[in-house]
């Protein structure tokens, strides 16, 4: 290896080999973390609301995170502590509602995928069963939602919506 790298001294080769080993170890660790903790979620973007200015200053939703039965219209969904067990705060839009159904037929809606980094707790809950998500939701019962009220105040502490639509893979990866 020393010859192949053209090093005069073996110490130089050892030095670079150690760096290479550390770099590889860090890359493997990062890849492992991504495989374990990163998921993707489908998001609808309402271009019309953006271009018409209707979405300016939070006037109208323009980003819709698909939670399965409904959408989260909170722009910073990733920061919501209830994202895995949605407490249906004022940012929640049921698909069956008038506005939810209109969205399905509206022109200018674009679909995209957004990456979501899970905490270890969330990943374990997601890999477990509904009971694990229920435990997570119970722990957050007194934590305010981005809309203001806590799940307890909303009465959704036990009737939360588990996020089942998270994809296992990264975009372009295998499922
Ligand atoms: S609790 Fe509110 S902000 Fe959080 S995911 Fe549900 S709708 Fe979105």
Neighbours of 172 (CB within 10 A): 7
Distance CA 101, CA 110 (A): 16
* Structure-token match 């509206």, residue found: 106
Confidence of residue 173 (pLDDT cuts 50, 70, 90): very low
Per-residue pLDDT at 145: 95
In 3-state terms, what secondary structure has residue 32?
helix
Residue written as tokens 């809950």?
125
Distance CA 92, CA 77 (A): 11
Top-confidence residue, 28 or 105: 105
Looking from the CA of residue 70, the nearest atom of ligand 1 is: 7
Pocket test for ligand 1, best of 147, 156, 166 (most atoms within 8 A of CB): 147
Distance CA 87, CA 161 (A): 7
* Other residues' Cβ atoms within 10 Å of the Cβ of residue 32: 10
As a whole number of angstroms, the distance between CA 132 and CA 122 comes to 9
- Strand 63-66 and strand 85-86: the pairing is unpaired
**Local structure of 34: helix, strand or coil:** helix
For the stretch 91-134, pLDDT in tens is 999 999 999 998 888 888 999 999 888 887 788 777 776 777 78
pTM attached to this predicted model: 0.76
Probe residue for ligand 1, chosen from 67, 70, 146, 163 as the CB with the greatest number of ligand atoms within 8 Å: 146
Neighbours of 155 (CB within 10 A): 11
């Amino acid at each position: 290896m020393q010859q192949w790298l053209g090093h005069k001294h073996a110490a130089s080769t050892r030095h670079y080999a150690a760096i290479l080993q550390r770099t590889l170890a860090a890359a493997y660790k990062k890849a492992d973390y991504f495989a374990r903790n990163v998921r993707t979620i489908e998001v609808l973007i309402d271009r019309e609301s953006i271009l018409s200015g209707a979405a300016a200053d939070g006037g109208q939703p323009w980003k819709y995170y698909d939670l399965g039965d409904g959408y989260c219209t909170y722009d910073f969904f990733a920061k919501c502590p209830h994202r895995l067990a949605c407490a249906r705060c004022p940012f929640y839009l049921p698909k069956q509602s008038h506005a939810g159904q209109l969205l399905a037929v509206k022109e200018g809606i674009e679909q995209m995928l957004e990456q979501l980094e899970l905490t270890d707790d969330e990943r374990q809950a997601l890999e477990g069963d509904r009971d694990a998500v229920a435990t997570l939701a119970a722990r957050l019962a007194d934590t305010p939602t981005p809309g203001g009220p806590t799940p307890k105040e909303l009465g959704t502490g036990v009737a939360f919506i588990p996020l089942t639509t998270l994809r296992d893979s990264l975009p372009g990866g295998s499922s």
